[in-house]
Amino acid sequence: MTGVPLDKVLAAFGFAPGPMGRQVPVTEKRAGWRKVVVALENDEYQVAFSCAELTSEIGATKALVSFALDGAPLGGERGPFRLVVLTDREPSRSVRNLERLIVVDVSQAPGPAKR
């Protein structure tokens, strides 16, 4: 299987974990770790990953955006792109016919009222 690690794809589009340190306000520390990636298949199947789990600094999840198998481009049921999660014990988070990746900031999601 030939492809690009998902964390490298995210980085190519500008994703970064964000600053850390005593001088950084709590609400801004590692803001990237409060985001999730949703991968959508063309038939509406979708899976999610925390951005933190995809990086070697935090998590052990290895996900690959694949575009070729045995030297030939993916096609038919599998492609042109497929998300393969190499570290999952079952393939339920792998996505055939990967259509779109969406990054969602969960810190902006509705939650309990602040006091």
In sequence order, which ranges of 1-115 are alpha helices (DSSP H)?
6-12
Residue 110, φ and ψ in degrees, nearest 5:
-60, 145
What local confidence, expressed as pLDDT, does residue 38 receive?
96
* Structure confidence at residue 106 as a pLDDT band (50, 70, 90): confident
* Structure confidence at residue 112 as a pLDDT band (50, 70, 90): low
Selection from 68, 53, 50, 52 nearest residue 17 by Cα:
52
* Average pLDDT, integer, range 47-69: 92
Q: Which residues contact 33 (CB under 8 A, 6 or more apart)?
A: 17, 18, 50, 51, 52, 58
- pTM confidence score: 0.83
Query: Is pLDDT larger for residue 115 or for residue 35?
Result: 35
Domain ranges of the chain: 2-14+33-97
